[in-house]
Structure 1
């Protein structure tokens, strides 16, 4: 039986490893913890130089990026809306979220939110590579999370048939 302990790292592509490292340090206080560079991809043996950087996202979470200078310019899946693919990072509280918003705005980052998701509130912005980032603060109660867990499978089943939002958790967005 496979027993996942935690996510080791999540990796995305970046336009410039040095710029990305500096932006995440300046804007989100994330330190560079590791850099790996090769001229050949270890898994495929393809001759394709890369720089792979690893940033400390707190509590042993790692956000990583690849700079690929010999690949075509970065783009995103044009069939997927920009809001769908994102990196969500948790902050300790709503007050911390509001403070982070103010700090990011003071550094010239355009922010959307806070947005109320019922059991958490979020702000959204983009990094210099075009990746959408979310900072989220949990605001739900233990009972709310238990109820969401209880109805999750029923919601998936209903969605798979109707392709319409089930009402099992409509209360999330009916709050103030």
Structure 2
């Protein structure tokens, strides 16, 4: 069945990339694997912290950060742009909290102790039934969690609350479809770019010079916008 097989990276905007790199490396043990000028932008920095290496045919998983000129002038407000803690809200479309995984209870407790040894307060673990979790804060009011499924699968029959289903306006037919998404059969040729349509997500606030690129052919986009060359030529060195 055609579907995504995991998260390659989640990118967080920052005004202090070094603080996040230091925190994720020193406190959480993530490895810096990339740091470069973000492709197609004016002076943006982009970095990738590896959470786990490639395994079982799947690619590595990363947390990424983006820093741009003038970012420090954009207001950051707990309760609006950031939740600030795992029980608080933030505006729609923003990240409420970010959880990373460990495999065992022993690793979860060891990670708790590692974080505390760096002077960061940690709460937990708590048992949520399908996982156990610890909670703590990261730089710039990010809300972070480490959790372990402890080998448990999430039972969709037990963990889909019919009261919540009703409050969200999800019918039984829709719920059945969500639990068993249809497979996709690729046609003989590529699907053309659909027109802009009300109710469908679309990038917001794109600079004019990039807005036009959405009407380019796929081949033109690949040829003109790709930047596969790394900033350091290790073979030449």
More relative contact order, 1 or 2 (CA 8 Å, 6+ apart):
1
Q: Is the 8 A contact 2:49 2:63 kept in 1?
A: yes
Q: What is the rounded CA distance, in whole Å, between the counterparts of 1:111 and 1:66 in structure 2?
A: 26
Shift of 1:106: 1.3
Q: How does 1:165-176 map to 2 (within 5 A)?
A: none
- Pairing partner for 1:123 from 134, 146, 169: 134
Q: What is the rounded CA distance, in whole Å, between the counterparts of 1:73 and 1:93 in structure 2?
A: 40
Q: What is the rounded CA distance, in whole Å, between the counterparts of 2:122 and 2:112 in structure 1?
A: 7
Shift of 1:6: 2.9
TM-score normalised by the chain length of structure 1: 0.73
Gaps of 5+ in 2: 54-59, 90-95, 171-237
Residue equivalent to 2:160? 152
Q: What is the rounded CA distance, in whole Å, between the counterparts of 1:25 and 1:12 in structure 2?
A: 16
Runs of 4+ in 1 over 4 A off after TM superposition: 153-156
TM-score normalised by the chain length of structure 2: 0.56
Q: Is the 8 A contact 1:15 1:74 kept in 2?
A: no
Shift of 1:18: 2.0
Q: What is the rounded CA distance, in whole Å, between the counterparts of 2:48 and 2:157 in structure 1?
A: 32
- In structure 2, the CA distance between the partners of 1:88 and 1:118, relative to structure 1 (3 Å rule), is same
Q: Is the 8 A contact 2:28 2:114 kept in 1?
A: no
Structure whose alpha-carbon radius of gyration is higher: 2
Q: Are residue 52 (structure 1) and residue 63 (structure 2) matched?
A: no
How many pairs does the alignment contain? Answer: 153
Shift of 1:51: 0.9
Q: How does 1:25-44 map to 2 (within 5 A)?
A: 25-38=25-38, 42=40
Q: Are residue 94 (structure 1) and residue 105 (structure 2) matched?
A: yes
Flag the structure with higher strand content.
Answer: 1
Shift of 1:34: 0.8
Residue equivalent to 1:165? none
Shift of 1:94: 1.2
Gaps of 5+ in 1: 163-176
Root-mean-square deviation (CA, aligned residues, Å) is: 2.8
Shift of 1:130: 1.6
- In structure 2, the CA distance between the partners of 1:19 and 1:120, relative to structure 1 (3 Å rule), is same
Shift of 1:92: 1.3
- In structure 2, the CA distance between the partners of 1:30 and 1:74, relative to structure 1 (3 Å rule), is farther
